[in-house]
Structure 1
Amino acid sequence: MDRAAANLAKLDAVWERAQPMLPSGPSRGSSREYEDLRRAWSVLLSGLPPIDGWTVTEELPDADAAGQAFIDYADIGEPPFALMNQLEEPSNQLDEYRFRLAQARRRAIHERLDDLTSTINETLPQVVESVPRDSNDRLEDPTTAVIEDAISEIERLLGDTTERGGRWTDLHRHMHFGQGHDWHDIVEMDWPSVRADIEAASLAESDPLPVPGIDLGVAASARPAGAASTGLSWSALDDDGFERLLFDLLRAFPRYQNVEWLMKTRAADRGRDLSAERVIQDDGGTTRTERVIIQAKHWTTKSVGPADVTGTLAALSLWEPPPVRALVIATSGRFTTDAVAVAEKHNADGKLPFIELWPDSRLETLLSQRPDLIASHGLRP
């Protein structure tokens, strides 16, 4: 893909030079420079491999023929709109290829970007854990190397598929100097900023989901009978897929922000998988946020018991500060009666964090409002 992108850039450069040489009115003849650009264009086209069976095929226009066409339009007294559109076709095809290449790259890198982002989210706090905020000491150890390697791979994967609106320059400058205060700046400002760019690149929201080859209007006219399916096929997901579903679902909630992976699936268990900030507004106009930890338990063959709830509570301190105000335990199965009783007593005693239990039935209700997520995660045939 990188070579295709490089060849696309070369074709862009050829078009940038050739386009001003195209006639914009009646004329005859061409120039040696333009004809050389036409030859270069033809050679470079072979460097764009097909994407889903399509690639750029348009050659650069024949300048002499285009000039004569302008003369012909003038003779018959018609505006040369069709000719002008035809002369822009090479540029239009370059734009189409650029879009398809970015789309293909996003499909290829989606899961790897999530893994690298998770690694950085987990490792960055370890780097500055015992480092004073104003430290001028240079930090060089295996954890900083892991982060630098992950950032390098992320940039290699992203290529030119996304706008770099975040603090990428600041991030590289701080990693270059690598002093304690630089790494604190990375944790507090640079990484949260560039992470938004990474998430935007990996979402691939413009990629369509596969649909059956039928006319939906015809299907609706057939008046299908029977009840609508409400259950979801949880077995279609593995542990990582269940976490990814929760990640997408939380990001879709308007009152959840800064949704993050806390660690890789099936890493040494510290009791939770996702972190988010929940925005709370009261009728008096006051707005505050509370930190929420969401633990994913993709258990379809057994229920979540009381020991699982208390074990999660005991491990939460490993993820503080900042303090955790709410704990959500989400499962693709159910909770035992004793597990529900433990959570209810904990909440009734006024202890923090507040425990919320999301069984499969609640997830199905939440997802019923997001059929796009049901489809994209393959939860319903």
Structure 2
Amino acid sequence: MDLSEALDQFDRTAANLNLLEGLWQQYKLYIPENPAFDLDTPEIDQLRRDYADAANSLPSIEGYRVDPELLALDDYSQMLLDAHEIYELSAFRSVYDFMQEPEKQIGEYKHRFSKARRRLVRRRMEEVVSEVDNLLHSSIETDLGREFSNGEDDWVALREKITEINRLRGSATIRATRLRDLYRHIRFAEPHDLHDIVTQDWPNVRTALIDLVFEGEPRVIQVDDLQDLVESEPGGAVSSKLAWQLLDQETFERLVFEILRNTKSYENVELLMKTKAPDRGRDISATRVFIDEVNGTERRSVVFQCKHWLTKSIGVKEILVLLEELKLWSRTFVEVFVVTSGSFTQDAVDWREEREMNDESPRVYFWPDTHLEHVLATRPAIRSAYF
């Protein structure tokens, strides 16, 4: 089953879930607030059967299902009558909780459904966002604004990608303030519209989409009360060494992306897809910001090339290949950061130092595993999300 077919199954599930929620909203109107009997009419019985059919139509999510059986109205009345006879607050509270149980189950299912759908589209959403990045970066500045090199064909491609993004995010709300502006400028498709898309609309929408894709999930914590850990007075040395073998190439790239996104000295962080590269590897581009109170703020276009290598050090040959890969991009980068979960050979270190002494461009920087471990030591939230 491909992603489009999988999304169809999620859409069908969403439709049935909406049906189930609507049936529950109808049924709860008939639930008595005080004991009353003979309320279960044929219409009510049919409503319960319809609810059961809708609940049974929902596939499980990690084993979780909604109970298809609704309690009969006379049974609710009996529970209320029993609570009145006991006349204790806890008894009335138990009845109320029982009455709300279907709504709680529907809410839990909706929560699990949303998380599952987000995981389903995550990879493709990243790819399409990168494709839009590349398309917009290929546009050319003109006196009237910006123009695509392929004219209307690129406008058609942009519309198709934005439509696919909407399909991928579905009903999920994104915190983008310029979403309507983006749609409007795509519709008019003039040079000044493309200028506004590149400089204002897309950066705003893109950030919201990435936030949606990378929306975190709670970490598993093995204690109930953190004070218990404090009082146990644990000892021993604290290591910053990380289990890099837990990550694959894609997760490693995402880790570096998250570090940059959460570092103030980097702006416009983009996870790029090298569609022409044989391995479809991904780089990360960004704007590096230098703030000088005297000379003003300087911004440099930089790229990060990530290699998740655990058993082999990166040498000069591999770095030269990486620099050649930069020619796949239509833009020029002032600085290149080679980031690895392993290390660099001594020849590579000497080569970089000599290149720096000769002031060659682009400047090349190395981030080995030890540097990443140092960076992550002061970013516990990111560290705990990946290790």
C-alpha displacement of 1:53:
0.8
1:197 maps to what in 2? Answer: 208
- Give 3-state SS (helix, strand or coil) of 1:258's partner: strand
C-alpha displacement of 1:17:
2.7
Q: Which one is further off, 45-54 or 108-117?
A: 108-117
Distance in 1 separating the partners of 2:325 and 2:105: 58
Distance 1:16 1:277, change over 3 A: farther
Distance in 1 separating the partners of 2:147 and 2:293: 47
1:125 maps to what in 2? Answer: 137
2:168 maps to what in 1? Answer: 157
Distance in 2 separating the partners of 1:275 and 1:347: 21
CA contact (8 A) 2:140 2:147 kept: no
2:277 equivalent to 1:263: no
1:174-193 matched pairs, under 5 angstroms: 174-193=185-204
Distance in 1 separating the partners of 2:61 and 2:373: 37
Q: Which one is further off, 290-299 or 10-19?
A: 290-299
Distance in 1 separating the partners of 2:328 and 2:59: 52
2:16 maps to what in 1? Answer: 7
Aligned residues, how many? 364
Q: Which one is further off, 307-316 or 185-194?
A: 307-316
For 1:91, which of 78, 103, 111 is the aligned residue?
103
C-alpha displacement of 1:225:
9.7
Gaps of 5+ in 1: 212-216
1:105-254 matched pairs, under 5 angstroms: 105-126=117-138, 128-129=139-140, 133-134=144-145, 139-141=151-153, 143-160=154-171, 162-166=172-176, 167-206=178-217, 230=241, 232-233=243-244, 237-238=248-249, 240-254=250-264
2:29 maps to what in 1? Answer: 20
Q: Which amino acid aligns with 1:107?
A: R
C-alpha displacement of 1:87:
0.9
Distance 1:232 1:371, change over 3 A: farther
Q: Identity percentage over the alignment?
A: 32
Distance 1:170 1:14, change over 3 A: farther
C-alpha displacement of 1:268:
7.5
CA contact (8 A) 2:140 2:146 kept: no
C-alpha displacement of 1:192:
2.0
1:298-309 matched pairs, under 5 angstroms: 298=308, 301-305=312-316, 308=319
Show CA shifts across 1:57-106 (max 9, x none): 15334223323433433343334211111111111111100011111112
Q: Which one is further off, 302-311 or 87-96?
A: 302-311
CA contact (8 A) 1:139 1:180 kept: no
- Give 3-state SS (helix, strand or coil) of 1:327's partner: strand
Distance in 2 separating the partners of 1:272 and 1:112: 13
Q: Which amino acid aligns with 2:284?
A: L
- Give 3-state SS (helix, strand or coil) of 2:57's partner: coil
Q: Which amino acid aligns with 1:203?
A: F
CA contact (8 A) 1:139 1:178 kept: no
1:329 maps to what in 2? Answer: 338
Q: Which amino acid aligns with 2:103?
A: S
Distance in 2 separating the partners of 1:15 and 1:5: 15
Distance 1:33 1:310, change over 3 A: closer
Show CA shifts across 1:279-338 (max 9, x none): 555689x876554322224455353328946983995896657xx564322234444555
Distance 1:118 1:248, change over 3 A: same
Distance in 2 separating the partners of 1:272 and 1:47: 40
Distance in 2 separating the partners of 1:40 and 1:108: 30
Distance in 2 separating the partners of 1:177 and 1:224: 65
Task: Indicate the RMSD between aligned Cα atoms, in angstroms.
Answer: 4.3
C-alpha displacement of 1:13:
1.8
For 1:43, which of 50, 53, 56 is the aligned residue?
53
- Give 3-state SS (helix, strand or coil) of 1:21's partner: coil
Distance 1:277 1:168, change over 3 A: same
C-alpha displacement of 1:43:
1.4
- Give 3-state SS (helix, strand or coil) of 1:330's partner: strand
Q: Which one is further off, 26-35 or 128-137?
A: 128-137
2:372 maps to what in 1? Answer: 363
Distance 1:359 1:77, change over 3 A: closer
For 1:59, which of 62, 66, 69 is the aligned residue?
69
Distance 1:312 1:158, change over 3 A: same
Distance 1:189 1:241, change over 3 A: same
TM-score (norm 1): 0.76
Distance in 1 separating the partners of 2:240 and 2:112: 35
Distance in 1 separating the partners of 2:366 and 2:132: 29
Distance 1:372 1:197, change over 3 A: same
Distance in 2 separating the partners of 1:136 and 1:314: 26
Distance in 1 separating the partners of 2:104 and 2:325: 59
CA contact (8 A) 1:59 1:90 kept: no
TM-score (norm 2): 0.75
